[in-house]
Structure formats: C-alpha cells, structure tokens
Structure 1
Amino acid sequence: MQVTPLNDQQLITNYLSGDERAFEELLSRHKQRIYTSIYLFVKDQSLAEDIFQEVFIKIIDTLRKGKYNHEGKFLQWALRISYNMCVDYFRRNKRRPKVSPTETFDIFDVLQSSERNAEQGIIRSQTHDKVRALVDMLPPEQREVVILRHYADMSFKEIAKLTRVSINTALGRMRYALINIRKLVEEREIVLQ
C-alpha cells in the first residue's frame, strides 16, 4: 500500500486545523528553493538566513489571518514574498548585492546530481562556478530575470508580475542577459563544458 503525500493546500488546511507537523512538512518541502532564491539576491549567508526567517514569519501570519488564497501555488506565492522582502531590504539599505567569494553556501551544493565519477563532478563544478560568475557580471535587471527563471523556476508571466514589468520586458531582459553572457564568454575565452 502506497501513501500519497499531501499536497501543499492539504498541508495548509491541516496546519490551520492545528497540525503543526503539517507546516513543518510544508517548510521542509520548500525551504531549500526559497532560501536559495533569497541567497542568490543578497549574496550573504547570514542576511539570507534572516530574510528567510522573516519570509516564514510573514507566511505563518498570512495563513493564520486567513488571507492566503493562492490555492495550489504555494511555492510561487512564497517566492514572491521572499523576492519582495529582498527588494525591500535593498531599498532600505540603498545598495545592490555584491559577490563574496568567501561565502560557504553554494547553490550547486543543493542541486541533486547523478554524476558518474569525480572528474565529471569537478568539471561540472567548475562550469557552474564560471556560469555563476558570468551571471553576477550582468546588469541588475538582467541578473534578476536569470535568477528568477533558472534558479527559482518561475515562468516569464510570474517574473513579469513579480517585478512589475510587462512579459515582453522580462523576455527582453532574458534575451539581453544571454547575449551579454555569450559576449563575456567570447571576450574572456571561457570554455563551458
């Protein structure tokens, strides 16, 4: 007999009925993607952890007040909250995220991989490092779209709504991001495998 895991909406309903474990399940199901999306914006592990905690406090608050109405779209809703909190942080502090090579968190450490051998793993890790450095060189609007699309797995429609631009603008930013990455690869003669 197989047990079918509860979907996000069922977990939310159970949580609102007093089942704290339901929220723990919801948190463990989505925490890595939400934390990763925050970290990619702020580039600071302790700041990302602080914002992550604020995001889940806001989520709990909204759920308890009965204001959650994004049935079946919990992850996108949570990512939107995390994005807005990152934007609010940068508006308050009037600065953009900076790359810090001393950070211990690495997005590619959390991605599952089916590497066959150590050499392939090393090559993949080096390629990811190069791509991450290229993304960090992009203008902020282009970097934002790349992160939301490829790391937060959002659609262009969701990105447009979240960043308050048209879908065409979001698509254009992605197009220019890819063009800029290609130029950087050619100019610096970077080999991506």
Structure 2
Amino acid sequence: MNKKVSALSDQQLLSAYLSGDKDAISILIERHSKRVLDYIRMMVKNNEVADDIYQETFIKVVRFIDDGRYTDNGKFLSWVLRIAHNQVIDHFRQAKQQNNLSESDAGYDILNTKRFADTTVEDRMVSEQIENDLRKLVDNLPEEQKEVVMMRYFGDLSFKEIAEQTNVSINTALGRMRYALINLRKMIKENQLILT
C-alpha cells in the first residue's frame, strides 16, 4: 500500500469504493482487520471459529455498503465492530440451539415435550414480539452492560466465562449485569412495556 493511499481516511476510501475503485474496500478492510479479528478472537476463544466469523463479518460489511445500507457518520470501525459483535452473538445462539437439539440424540424426544406441544401461533408471535422489544432495549444499554447481557442470555455463558472473555473480574461482570438489569427495568417502565 503506497503512502498516498494509506493517508486516505475511511470516508475517502468508502467514497472511492462507491465510485468504482474496487481496491479501496480491500485497503479499508486490511486497515481494520487486526482490530476486528482480535476482538472476535477475544470473544470466542477459538481461532478457527474466529476466522469464520471474521469472514462473515466482512462479507456482511461489503453487502451492506453495496446495498446502500451504510450511513457514513465517521465511525466506520465502530460499525464494523458492532456487526462483528452481532455475528459472535449469533454464533453463541446457534451453538446453544445445537446443544439443546442434541438432547434428542440421547433418547430425549424434544418434540414430545409439553413446552412444544402447547405452543400456539399466538404464543410464538407474542414471544417474538417480547424478544424484539427486549433486544431493542438491550441495544440501548451502555456497551459493557450490553456485552454482558448478550453473552449471558444469548450466548448462555457463565459469569466466570464472561469475566474471562472480557478480561475483568467476576465481580465486575456481575456488577455490569446488575446495572444492566436496573437500566432495563427502568426502560421497561419508561416505555410501559409488558413482557409477559
């Protein structure tokens, strides 16, 4: 990469890419690749999985830009890290679902449980709406609190695992969760949401 190109800002590279310079997106990705990959590796603690999530993240980034869904506000790296974070959460969610479904391999008939037998279309719609409302509220939490909530409830990680992955003490992780729950309760009350 020559000095002239490396001196371009993220916004200038994005403009160049959108104007037809296909090399500009490669330069932009290369510029931020280490930071994004380090973040993903810190979260998942598995290099192979991290590499896959990294690839998916930048595929999504390019797709969003190509579709015109990226609004340039001077925070390109933050936007990419948010996509990476969501990809990590999706990974944990899928792993959790696979673990739950594998119980049927051990002679447990998952489709013959009361939980699934009594679920109606209305129940699923209400559950989806509650989950969407809650997800929007979680997105409004401070980043450290949001991270703990996502890892605990969507990633199904223990507080010990959360502490290890975020490089904080267990007490700090618990404190962040406590403040997150306080903030969520406050937002639920302010928005007069019913989550039942």
Instruction: Provide TM-score, normalisation by structure 1.
Output: 0.51
| 5+ long unaligned stretches in structure 1 | 96-160, 182-193
Compare CA radii of gyration and give the structure with the larger one. 2
Give the secondary structure class of the aligned counterpart of 1:41.
Answer: helix
Take 2:43 and 2:13, find their aligned partners in 1: how far apart are those partners? 28
Contact residue 70 and residue 77 of structure 1 kept, 8 A: no
Alignment of 1:18-37 (within 5 A): 18-37=20-39
Post-superposition offset of 1:16: 1.3
Q: Which amino acid aligns with 1:55?
A: T
Which residue of 6, 9, 22 corresponds with 1:7?
9
Tell which has more relative contact order, 1 or 2 (C-alpha 8 A, sep 6+).
Answer: 1
Which residue of 51, 65, 78 corresponds with 1:63?
65
- Change in CA separation of 1:169 and 1:78 when aligned onto 2, cut-off 3 Å: closer
Percentage identity across paired residues of the two chains = 40
- Change in CA separation of 1:48 and 1:165 when aligned onto 2, cut-off 3 Å: same
Could you give the per-residue CA deviations for residues 117-157 of structure 1, whole angstroms, max 9, x where no partner exists? xxxxxxxxxxxxxxxxxxxxxxxxxxxxxxxxxxxxxxxxx
Take 2:23 and 2:140, find their aligned partners in 1: how far apart are those partners? 38
Post-superposition offset of 1:68: 0.4
Take 2:141 and 2:28, find their aligned partners in 1: how far apart are those partners? 31
Q: Which amino acid aligns with 1:62?
A: F
Take 1:168 and 1:71, find their aligned partners in 2: how far apart are those partners? 19
Could you give the per-residue CA deviations for residues 35-79 of structure 1, whole angstroms, max 9, x where no partner exists? 011111111111111110001100110011111004210000000
Q: Which amino acid aligns with 1:69?
A: T
- Is residue 49 of structure 1 aligned with residue 24 of structure 2? no
Look up the match of 2:142. Answer: 167
Could you give the per-residue CA deviations for residues 102-126 of structure 1, whole angstroms, max 9, x where no partner exists? xxxxxxxxxxxxxxxxxxxxxxxxx
Q: Which amino acid aligns with 1:42?
A: V
Instruction: Provide TM-score, normalisation by structure 2.
Output: 0.50
Give the secondary structure class of the aligned counterpart of 2:7.
Answer: coil
Alignment of 1:1-193 (within 5 A): 3=4, 5-94=7-96, 164=139, 166-167=141-142, 170=145, 177=168, 180=171
- Change in CA separation of 1:163 and 1:81 when aligned onto 2, cut-off 3 Å: farther
- Change in CA separation of 1:46 and 1:163 when aligned onto 2, cut-off 3 Å: farther
Contact residue 55 and residue 78 of structure 1 kept, 8 A: yes
* Coordinate RMSD, CA, aligned: 3.1
Contact residue 38 and residue 51 of structure 1 kept, 8 A: yes
Look up the match of 2:118. Answer: none
Give the secondary structure class of the aligned counterpart of 1:94.
Answer: helix
Contact residue 8 and residue 74 of structure 1 kept, 8 A: yes
